[in-house]
Every structure is written in C-alpha cells, then in structure tokens.
A and B are shown apart, each in its own frame.
Chain A
Amino acid sequence: MTRRYGLTRGDRWVLSAALLALAAAWAALGGDEGGMALVTQEGRVVARLDLERPTRLTVDGPLGQTVLEVAEGRVRFLSSPCRGQLCVHAGWLSQGGAFVACLPNGVAVRIAARSERYDAINF
C-alpha cells in the first residue's frame, strides 16, 4: 500500500472553507481604509495607492500603457491609449466609492472608503 499525501474531497472542502475565511478576514481588515485607491487590471488588483502620497503609476493593458496620477488626496487617469478618452475626461476622483473603469484597456480605479453619500450616480 502506498501512502500518498493526496487530499480527499472532505479535506478539500475544509481547506477551501479555511482559505475563504482567511480571504474574507483579510478583506475586512485591509479593504476599507479611506484615502486609498484600488487599481485593477482585467479584474486583478495591481496596486493600492495611498492618496496622500503624490505619485504616478503606469499600468499595462492590451492597448498599451495607462498612466494614473495621485495628487492632493485625489487620483485621475492622466493618459490612456484608448480611443474614447472617457477615463481621462472623468477627471479627479476623491470621494469614497468613486469608480472609473477604462474598459478598452481594462484598467479600473476605485476609491475605498466607507462613508459615502451615494452608492451610485444616475445621469
């Protein structure tokens, strides 16, 4: 009889549950600072920007490089290789919950914070 370190179905359940709990705890602890911008590319987190630290960030996407700028507690799309330039025209983001995504290049920015007046703006 060979001894294997394989996982049974039950083991996998326990392990996945534990990993999920860990992920949830991490999200609850770390995911809610104010003044942070979460940058994703194709849904994957590529950076967490402290809005109090002026900086520029270049994110690579299918069309090329998107450049984000952080200054004075705000963040914006400084330049983008996309055609529409809607992300650039969206201007500065500072309010908690604010979100701008450039679909053509797959880059999204969300300001993390809890106290927000509106969950969404309709226009």
Chain B
Amino acid sequence: MAFGTLVSLSFYGLDGEAASRATAAAMEDFRYLHSAWHPYEPGPLGRVNELLPLQGWFTYPPSLRPLLLRARELSRASGGLFNPAIGELVMLWGFHEDPRREGPPPDPKAVAEWVAAAPSLEDVELRGLEMRSRNPRVRLDFGAFAKGYGVDRVIEHLRELGVENAIVNAGGDLRAIGSKGGAPWVVGIRDPRGPGVLARIAVSGDESVFTSGDYERFFEYEGRRYHHILDPRSGYPARGLVSVTVVAGEGALADAAATALMVAGPEDWPQVARAMGVEQVMVIEEGGGIQLTPAMVRRLQWEKPVPEPRVRPLP
C-alpha cells in the first residue's frame, strides 16, 4: 500500500515534551492504520479481501465502515475513476509489492478480462456490519485515498491532544492546521520533472495539499515506462498527465480527487473536479504544459520560470 512510510510532523507553539508526545501518538496511529488497511498483508482489510471473492455475507471489522462509506461516496462522485475495488488489477500489474518484482506488464488478455468484469464498490453490499460482494473480482485497495484518510484521522487525534498548529506530511501529501504564530505555513510543490520546487503555496486554517504523479511508482520494460495510477476503464496506466495537485480541506477528498483527475486526463479533468467538489487544482501535462483552475491561480507563487499556464474554469 502506498502509505508513505516517510511521515513528517511540524508543530508550532508546542514545548518539546508535548511535541514528543504528539509525535509518538501520530506515529502509533500511522503504524496501526498501515496494518489495518493493508490490502495484501494479513490484517483486517487483508482478511476482508480473502472473503470477498466467496460472495457470501461475512462480518467485517467495524473500523472499516467509515472508510468504506467515504470511499464509496468519493468513488461515485468521481464517476468510478477513483475505484477502490481495483485491487486485483493492481496485483496483475505487480504494484501490490514494494519493490515491484521485475518483469513485463501483465498479459493484455488478463487486463481485458478484468476490465470486462468491471469490479467497483457498487458491487459491494453493506448490511450493518456484514458485507458481501456480488462480483468475485472485487478486491479492495484504498491506496489512492488511504493516505488522505489516514492524515485526516491523525489530525483529528492531534486536535484531541490539544495541538492547534501542525502539519502532518505523509510522504509528500499533507494537511496543515492552524498557523505559525499567525503566519501561514509555506508549502513548496516539487517540480515533477525537474529539480527543486515549482511553486509555493501559503496555507493556514485547515487545508490539505495532495499530489498524484506518474513518478511516484513505476517500472520500465523494453524501453516503455509504466506507472502505478491505473485507469479502471482501460486497465492501463493513466495517460496524458504527469501530476495533479489538489488543495482541499479534507485529506481523503484531496487524495481521491488527485487520483481521479490523473485518470480523467488533460481534457476531461475539470468535469471530474466539479463533480467531486474540488476547486483548487493544478495539473501538469506530459508535454510540460500547466493547467490551473481560476481558484488555484490566486494561490500559487511560481518558484521558477514556467510556460504560461492554461486556466480552466470548472464547468
């Protein structure tokens, strides 16, 4: 699961001891969430994934319920482009293993069969704490939004501990609350193709900044590059975009939207952004072009020369 084993926390206005306590609590949360939501290792979600193909009713862990419900809402809003029932396809591509075992991309016939079976969360029925799948090919993988959902839970926990000003950064995707003594937090968005930082954005109050990119996990085979953001419509890696950055309040929403917009591609992403309710978006095209929503134009300060961005109003 792409859960970012690298987690960083920043606090403002906490003494050393309180910061240590908050850090320990957050690390413990991440460790727990990682094992609870890992789709391919023994654990709560791993067990669910073993039972789903049997298509009978079974009891699932209550802790998964809010995650499942939020994932289903976001999946619907994205028109299925964010699809947490994609686990089997992820396995076909070998992205369930980290590092991926070397080898060719999957047999096109196997990919086509998966696409024809079209597993989605709509195939999963929930009845209280029981669930079943009507589609034997459903295998849950929340990788495209677990990081956001997890960051949200950690922020919630930190607030309960009295932390008011913090950044929780899970492998480059983050949610920031409060401020730095009145000054906003400054987040640098890394250039997905070149060195250094492309743009900076000042965040305060409560905002998440999430980026999905084709550079996060990929492999090369016979001169072709295959990345891990899979388009459930084709069964192949999404094409046309290098990265999508979404700024939104909720980490889970920003995370799922960044993935869905990558899949939607360079022309169609504004409709999906509208449907999911995100307004601040930057996408980087394969050719290097930059597209921004009007709301994002006002947020970014460039840190290096960039081609004139194309502004895409949301429909």
Q: Given B5, B25, B188, which contacts A120 in the complex, CB threshold below 8 Å?
A: B188
Tell whether A103 pairs with B188 under 8 Å between CB atoms, given A118-B197, A122-B211, A123-B172: no
Contacting residues, chain B, for A40 (C-beta < 8 A): 20, 23
Smallest beta-carbon distance B243→chain A, Å: 8
B15 close to A (CB within 8 Å): yes
A interface residues, how many (CB within 8 angstroms)? 32
Pairwise interchain contact B6-A117, C-beta atoms closer than 8 A: no
Set of chain A residues within 8 Å of B124, measured between Cβ atoms: none
B27–A120 CB distance below 8 A = no
Contact of B5 among A31, A43, A103, A117 (CB under 8 A): A103
| A47 to B: closest C-beta gap in Å | 14
List the B residue with the shortest CB-CB distance to A116: B186
A117 touches B186 (CB 8 A): yes
Query: A123 contacts B6, CB within 8 Å?
Result: no
Contact B16 A23 (CB under 8 A): yes
Give the residues in chain B near A87, CB-CB below 8 Å.
Answer: 5-6
Task: List residues 23-66 of chain A with CB under 8 A from any CB of chain B.
Answer: 23-24, 26-27, 31, 40, 42-45
Q: Is A84 an interface residue (CB 8 A)?
A: yes
CB contacts under 8 Å to B, within A103-123, are 103-104, 106, 108, 117-123
User: Is A100 close to B, CB under 8 A?
Assistant: yes
* Whole-angstrom distance between the Cβ of B18 and the nearest chain A Cβ: 8
- Where the two chains meet, the residues of B that have a C-beta atom closer than 8 Å to any C-beta of A are 5-10, 15-17, 20-21, 23-25, 27, 30-31, 34, 98, 167, 169, 172-174, 176, 180, 185-190, 192, 197, 200, 209-211, 213, 245
Distance A119 CA – B190 CA, assembled complex (angstroms): 13
- The reply to whether B186 and A118 contact each other, CB–CB distance below 8 Å, is yes
Q: Are A121 and B6 in contact (CB under 8 A)?
A: no
The CA-CA distance from A100 to B171 in the complex, in Å, is 10
Complex contact B5–A104 (CB within 8 A) = yes
Contact of A26 among B7, B16, B174 (CB under 8 A): B16
Query: Are A44 and B20 in contact, CB atoms less than 8 angstroms apart?
Result: yes
User: 19 pairs across A/B with beta carbons < 8 Å?
Assistant: A20-B15, A23-B17, A40-B20, A43-B20, A43-B27, A90-B6, A97-B10, A103-B6, A103-B34, A117-B188, A119-B10, A120-B10, A120-B186, A121-B169, A121-B188, A121-B189, A121-B190, A122-B190, A122-B245
Task: With A122-B172, A123-B190 as known contacts, state yes or no: A99 contacts B8, CB within 8 Å.
Answer: yes
- 19 more CB-based (< 8 A) A-B contacts, given A117-B188, A122-B245: A27-B16, A42-B24, A44-B24, A86-B5, A97-B10, A103-B6, A108-B23, A117-B186, A118-B187, A118-B197, A119-B185, A120-B174, A120-B176, A120-B188, A121-B172, A122-B172, A122-B173, A123-B189, A123-B211
Report how far A42 CA is from B28 CA in the complex, Å.
Answer: 9
Interface set, chain A 87-102, CB cutoff 8 A to B: 87, 90, 97, 99-102
